[in-house]
Structure 1
């Protein structure tokens, strides 16, 4: 039971201090899950991020569910998942009550403007963390593949599912044939 509570509290903390969505949460999730608690290793963490990007649902919830299961089975999944969503649920419940009262608040607007660059920084940090440890910076084929997919993603309106399929085909071509 102690481990389940630790899972809940750790994931609650991640949910509480992670603004900006799943990608912005990656550095914080890594610090808590891999570095501080050693529940999984970094290689498994990278796999979770990859799988979370391909499966429905937010990265934080998918990661929490996986880590919880790895650490303490189904009950671990339940406690970890509830932990990561609890703060958001509480915050949204409270915010909906007061949103109209403070929607024109200069302090609130200023705080939101201040958080935007931080979110971009956290997303950039997540990108660099994953890129640094993957084959992307070590293999010319991966660099070429990354550039092609990056340009397609940024310059076209190709659906993300099609991007994943194109990546798989290019992966087969680059790594399977040559």
Structure 2
């Protein structure tokens, strides 16, 4: 039963996601929380692992969650669940899409979907930032606690790594792969000191 639930959860994610893996992150988070697959605190770890491993983030996330919930079979069911809707849709509508690609209704649908994608990506970024920068979460954050003991509320080493990585990406335009590797090395150094 658990395997079927994993399959259906990730099938739903694959079916209703537009805009690639990053746009799927809020849907994955919602399914994980709704079905109690993993604690919410582990969601940032899922994103980090899915980012570091080769392949699409949605498939990597599904594989990781499935493995955590039901081992190798769980990872198989979750991965097939997230990938199957794309395969089915591609097979069913490929001919019709190219025939009606420039139809005004088709273009209007995609113009309506496009603004949702950045919103979904920003939602995922806010959630990951919340779990990375605020160790106790934003729901437990109070202005009094922030001003009376900012070091107990904000994870300073994470902010240091965030700023260094952001400046490196924007100002020096380093390769994102190098940014990930550098951030990992910096994390080992900073978190072993603090």
Q: Same fold (TM over 0.5)?
A: yes
Residues 130-155 of structure 1 show CA distances to partners (whole Å, capped at 9, x for unaligned) of: 10121368133422321221233244
Alignment partners' CA distance in 1, 2:97 and 2:4: 32
Give the stretch that moved more between structures: 118-127 or 167-176.
Answer: 167-176
TM-score (norm 2): 0.82
Where do 1:100-139 residues align within 5 Å?
100-135=98-133, 138-139=154-155
Match for residue 29 of structure 2? 30
Q: Cα–Cα, structure 1 residues 150 and 96, in superposed 2: closer, same or farther, change >3 Å?
A: same
What displacement does 1:99 show?
2.2
Q: Secondary structure at the match of 1:20?
A: coil
**1:40 and 2:69 aligned:** no
Q: Cα–Cα, structure 1 residues 7 and 176, in superposed 2: closer, same or farther, change >3 Å?
A: closer
Give the stretch that moved more between structures: 64-73 or 76-85.
Answer: 64-73
Q: Cα–Cα, structure 1 residues 44 and 150, in superposed 2: closer, same or farther, change >3 Å?
A: same
Equivalent pair of 2:132/2:158 in contact (CA under 8 Å): no
Residues 82-116 of structure 1 show CA distances to partners (whole Å, capped at 9, x for unaligned) of: 10011011111123222221111111111111211
Alignment partners' CA distance in 2, 1:58 and 1:118: 20
Which structure carries more relative contact order (alpha carbon 8 Å, separation 6+)?
1
Q: Which structure 2 segments of 5+ residues have no match? A: 135-152
TM-score (norm 1): 0.89
Match for residue 167 of structure 2? 151
Equivalent pair of 2:132/2:155 in contact (CA under 8 Å): no
Structure 1 runs of 4+ aligned residues shifted over 4 Å read none
Q: Cα–Cα, structure 1 residues 169 and 7, in superposed 2: closer, same or farther, change >3 Å?
A: closer
Residues 121-174 of structure 1 show CA distances to partners (whole Å, capped at 9, x for unaligned) of: 000000001101213681334223212212332445422221122213433453
Q: Cα–Cα, structure 1 residues 172 and 76, in superposed 2: closer, same or farther, change >3 Å?
A: closer
Alignment partners' CA distance in 1, 2:165 and 2:93: 38
Alignment partners' CA distance in 2, 1:72 and 1:112: 37
When the two chains are superposed, the root-mean-square deviation of aligned CA atoms in Å is 1.9
Where do 1:1-178 residues align within 5 Å?
2-33=1-32, 35-135=33-133, 138-177=154-193
Higher helix share: 1
